[in-house]
């Protein structure tokens, strides 16, 4: 069990942060506050795209948890995605079998994000997983949490997401409506001016023919 927990740590997590304090990463322009009881996980510092990492509890023991934030190498769009391939790849890397997985809606700064939750097994060992991709400007990030045990961890991920601060490359619904209104008014104003000019020209042409 302990060897499996170490593998899980190495795959999911890496980074430097201070548990209980607001951790910031200037390169990505993000900040995150670790939940109570989490401590810095240092073993995965050399992994690529790693930003933050934490662990809570004793490795290999029921209830042991991991929290990792990694960069995705680019921005993400608004289209929904099927989380099953992601979950399957993680399970394969960890030597586990996927028991079940599903999409989980998560809220962040007025956006509805497509997250996922999953349960994986290896014999009597059960691990629950939750993850979400966040549309950070410049480079999107993925936040992943894992717990040894069958208790769903989706609510904990939502709580972590609530502390996550970053500038997004997405527009909120209100911002999209405002830009649509402004853009629409600009277009309508242009069309109105053109229509008025055409009407005036036609009127002048009729007046000239009548004279």
pLDDT at 105 over 90: yes
Which two structure tokens, joined as six digits, stand for 129? 């997983």
Q: Would you state the pLDDT for residue 179?
A: 42
Query: What's the whole-number mean pLDDT along residues 140-160?
Result: 91
φ, ψ for residue 3 (rounded to 5)?
-65, -40
Residues 149 and 190 in one domain: no
Q: Would you state the pLDDT for residue 30?
A: 94
Q: Would you state the pLDDT for residue 194?
A: 57
| Domain extent for 205 | 171-211
Specify the CATH number for the domain of residue 87.
Answer: 2.60.120.1690
Mean residue pLDDT across the chain:
78
Residues 134 and 176 in one domain: no
User: Which residues lie closer than 8 Å to 43 by C-beta, 6 or more apart?
Assistant: 6, 9, 10, 14
The span from the CA of 61 to the CA of 46, in Å, is 25
Residues 49 and 129 in one domain: yes
* Residue 102, strand partner residues: 117
Residues 149 and 181 in one domain: no
The span from the CA of 79 to the CA of 98, in Å, is 24
Residues 91 and 157 in one domain: yes
pLDDT at 19 over 70: no
- Domains identified in the chain, total number: 2
pTM of structure? 0.75
User: Which residues lie closer than 8 Å to 138 by C-beta, 6 or more apart?
Assistant: 28, 29, 75, 169
For 126-149, the pLDDT digits (tens) are 889 999 999 999 899 999 898 988
């Amino acid at each position: 069990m302990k060897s499996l927990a170490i593998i899980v740590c190495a795959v999911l997590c890496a980074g430097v942060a201070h548990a209980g304090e607001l951790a910031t990463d200037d390169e990505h322009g993000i900040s995150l506050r670790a939940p109570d009881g989490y401590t810095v996980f240092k073993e995965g510092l050399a992994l690529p795209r790693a930003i933050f990492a934490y662990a809570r509890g004793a490795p290999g023991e029921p209830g042991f948890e991991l929290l990792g934030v990694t960069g995705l190498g680019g921005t993400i769009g608004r289209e929904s995605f099927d989380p099953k391939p992601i979950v399957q790849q993680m399970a394969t890397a960890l030597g586990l079998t996927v028991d079940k997985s599903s999409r989980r809606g998560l809220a962040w700064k007025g956006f509805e994000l497509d997250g996922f939750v999953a349960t994986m097994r290896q014999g009597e060992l059960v691990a629950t997983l939750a993850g979400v991709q966040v549309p950070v400007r410049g480079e999107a990030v993925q936040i992943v949490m894992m717990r040894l045990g069958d208790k769903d961890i989706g609510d904990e991920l939502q709580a972590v997401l609530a502390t996550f601060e970053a500038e997004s490359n997405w527009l909120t619904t209100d911002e999209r409506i405002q830009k649509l209104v402004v853009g629409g008014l600009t277009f309508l104003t242009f069309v109105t001016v053109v229509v008025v000019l055409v009407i005036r020209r036609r009127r002048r042409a009729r007046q000239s023919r009548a004279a």
